[in-house]
Amino acid sequence: MTVSPESGRAPTWRSGFAFPARGHAERRPRREPGVIVGLDHVQVAAPVGCEDEARRFYGDLLGLEEVPKPPLLAVRGGVWFRVGAHELHVGVAGDFVPATKAHPAFRVASASDLEWLAARLEESGIEVRWADPAEIPGATRFFVDDPWQNRLELVA
């Protein structure tokens, strides 16, 4: 731990960040390396009663495997899916508002798989919006909306 040259004291700890002790001129938190080691899950919100449609869209159409919710959380509704080593949680929000800007981005194995998935979605009546390839060189990607108009990105 670094000691402040001004105060001669180590920073105090709050919520995993090192903050300078009171009276220290520097107020910006310093990140301690290795505290956050990965991403566990991403949650998208959906309205009450979304479970069947979530299973059709995320499970049947996108091919994600449903994982059981813990019993104490299952009573709240929603559905969880496995996405590689991570999870996507579709959570019920009584005051649901779709996320039209913030979004999860799903990695697809290859550009040809991405094209196949785009065709599958379009055949199901879902609008596929391809991104300009110049925006992120080397990435092929498109956007779709889930059944509740939450924005999703798929990228290869």
Note whether residue 12 is domain-resident: no
Q: Kindly report whether the global pTM for this prediction surpasses the value 0.75.
A: yes
Note whether residue 123 is domain-resident: yes
Note whether residue 23 is domain-resident: no
Collapsing DSSP to helix, strand or coil, 32 comes out as coil
Strands (E), the chain: 12-14, 17-19, 41-46, 65-67, 79-83, 86-92, 105-107, 129-130, 141-145, 151-155
Note whether residue 110 is domain-resident: yes
The token pair at 120 is 């599958």
Sorted by sequence, the CB contacts under 8 Å of residue 64 that are 6+ apart come out as 58, 81, 82, 83, 88
Say what the pLDDT of residue 27 is. Answer: 60
How would DSSP label each residue in 58-99?
Answer: IIIIT-PEEEPPPHHHHTT--EEEEETTEEEEEEE-TT----
The token pair at 46 is 């959906």
Provide the domain limits for residue 101. Answer: 41-155
Q: What does the alpha-carbon distance between residue 46 and residue 145 come to, in Å, rounded to a whole number?
A: 12
Residue 133 belongs to domain with CATH number: 3.10.180.10
Note whether residue 27 is domain-resident: no
Note whether residue 80 is domain-resident: yes
Q: Looking at the 3D structure of the chain, how many domains does it have?
A: 1
Say what the pLDDT of residue 9 is. Answer: 52
Note whether residue 21 is domain-resident: no
How confident is the prediction along the chain (156 residues), in pLDDT tens digits per residue?
444 445 455 444 444 444 444 454 556 666 677 889 999 999 999 999 999 999 999 999 999 999 999 999 999 999 999 999 999 999 999 999 999 999 999 999 999 999 999 999 999 999 999 999 999 999 999 999 999 999 999 999
Q: What does the alpha-carbon distance between residue 10 and residue 30 come to, in Å, rounded to a whole number?
A: 12
Note whether residue 13 is domain-resident: no
